[in-house]
Amino acid sequence: MNKLIVDAASQSYPIYIDSGLLTQTNLYRNLVQNRGVCIITNETVAPLYGSILKETLAKSGGNLNQIEIFVLPDGEQYKTLATLETIFNHLLQNQFDRNSLLVALGGGVVGDITGFAAACYQRGVDYLQIPTTLLSQVDSSVGGKTAVNHALGKNMIGAFYQPCAVMIDLDVLNTLPDREYASGLAEVIKYGAIRDAEFFCWLEANIDALNRREQSALAYAIERSCQNKAEIVNQDETETGIRALLNYGHTFAHAFEIELQYGTWLHGEAVSAGMVYAAKLSRQLCQLAEDDVERLEDLLLKAHLPTKIDASLNRDHLLHHMALDKKNQSGSRRMILLKRLGDAVVVKDVRESEIRSVF
């Protein structure tokens, strides 16, 4: 089993990575003893993994009367304050106290909402992340960003609140649909592009094994991704500095997602195309080599990800969405760009005409 430690300013905690973690009772013993446990999951993941996990937690010493599974509807559209309230209702009606443990069993939607529920319930209870999509395993379960959406913006209501542990079971990826899997690979490739050139080369050499979901390749790619994310979070938990580099490709991606009304592309697919446009912009503004742009595009294509937007997408609308990006500060347009593969920088005062030219 691989074990990493996140050592954030507010809290340190372990990330375990292995196959079969959902049934390893030893791992959960200290976490569940003598407390109520509420597993929060959704209607897709519950029938696949809910009862396996419940049985493991029961065997590992959790108070049997107080192990509940609470099932949410599946989908980003339910990552709302209204859903959060159903969680609080359930916890209160079942007398979960301040010593309780919440367990997020699912993808990033379940992880984000459960984390935020834990941050708020009785002013804060412990929670455990058990991410079941590749994207949530390499990205959202690590680093303590929790949130729900508001009608006026994604992730607008939330908190930084770290989990007490992250359990990454490789076996759960076997049931993940192909597009969801590829979407997670986009974030894996992002770590190579922004800060880990050696990993980028490894990904180029091992992309076929990853596409086949071979366990040893997957274990390595997930570990290296989590390591990269942990190193960034350790230095900058609340995104006042280098954590912003994780948004590489995301200013473009968010604009594509908004313009496509979140219906056409999965997040990782939008990030994939966004990273290619950001690389083209980097070629103009940061002297990124043409060869590096091509290597990034090739790797994403081999991972079955999109690398360009449809000609019909309205460029003025996209530029408008990008101008409203959260990373902009006092009117200056800030973008994450690459100097070379494995080396990202923040660039200020990017002009609209420069972005327009890469479309």
Ligand X SMILES: NC(=O)c1ccc[n+]([C@@H]2O[C@H](COP(=O)([O-])OP(=O)(O)OC[C@H]3O[C@@H](n4cnc5c(N)ncnc54)[C@H](O)[C@@H]3O)[C@@H](O)[C@H]2O)c1
Task: Please report, as ranges, the residues that interact with ligand X according to CB under 6 A.
Answer: 42, 44-45, 48, 74, 76, 79, 106-110, 112, 132-133, 135-136, 139-140, 143, 145, 155, 172, 175-176, 180, 183, 267
- Please identify, using beta-carbon distances, which residue of 283 and 304 lies nearer to ligand X: 304
* 123 catalytically annotated: yes
User: Minimum Å distance from CB 220 to ligand X?
Assistant: 20
- Catalytic member of 180, 187, 237, 257: 187
Half-sphere exposure of 173 (CA within 13 A, CB side): 29
* 90 catalytically annotated: no
DSSP 56: H
- Please identify, using beta-carbon distances, which residue of 126 and 257 lies nearer to ligand X: 257
User: Minimum Å distance from CB 90 to ligand X?
Assistant: 19
User: Minimum Å distance from CB 45 to ligand X?
Assistant: 5
Tokens for 188, please give them.
Answer: 């894996």
* 229 catalytically annotated: yes
User: Minimum Å distance from CB 137 to ligand X?
Assistant: 9
**How far is Cα 327 from Cα 349, in angstroms, rounded to an integer?**
12
User: Minimum Å distance from CB 119 to ligand X?
Assistant: 12
- Catalytic member of 180, 247, 259, 297: 247
- Please identify, using beta-carbon distances, which residue of 66 and 149 lies nearer to ligand X: 149
* 254 catalytically annotated: yes
List alpha helices for the chain, DSSP H: 25-32, 45, 51-59, 81-93, 108-120, 134-135, 178-195, 197-211, 215-235, 250-259, 267-285, 290-302, 315-323, 352-358
Rounded alpha-carbon distances, angstroms, from residue 54 to 51, 78, 166, 199 = 5, 24, 17, 36
- Catalytic member of 26, 65, 123, 314: 123
- Please identify, using beta-carbon distances, which residue of 27 and 168 lies nearer to ligand X: 168
**How far is Cα 260 from Cα 272, in angstroms, rounded to an integer?**
15
Contact 121, 58 (CB under 8 A): no
- Please identify, using beta-carbon distances, which residue of 232 and 355 lies nearer to ligand X: 232
- Catalytic member of 180, 239, 257, 269: 239
* 190 catalytically annotated: no
* 187 catalytically annotated: yes
- Catalytic member of 54, 250, 280, 333: 250
* 145 catalytically annotated: yes
- Catalytic member of 35, 190, 229, 280: 229
- Please identify, using beta-carbon distances, which residue of 62 and 106 lies nearer to ligand X: 106
* 243 catalytically annotated: yes
Phi-psi region of 100 (alpha: psi -120 to 50; beta: other; left: phi over 0): beta
User: Minimum Å distance from CB 283 to ligand X?
Assistant: 27
Contact 64, 32 (CB under 8 A): no
Contact 162, 11 (CB under 8 A): yes
Contact 185, 272 (CB under 8 A): no
Contact 225, 214 (CB under 8 A): no
Residue nearest to ligand X (CB): 108
Which residues does the annotation mark as catalytic?
123, 145, 187, 229, 239, 243, 247, 250, 254, 267
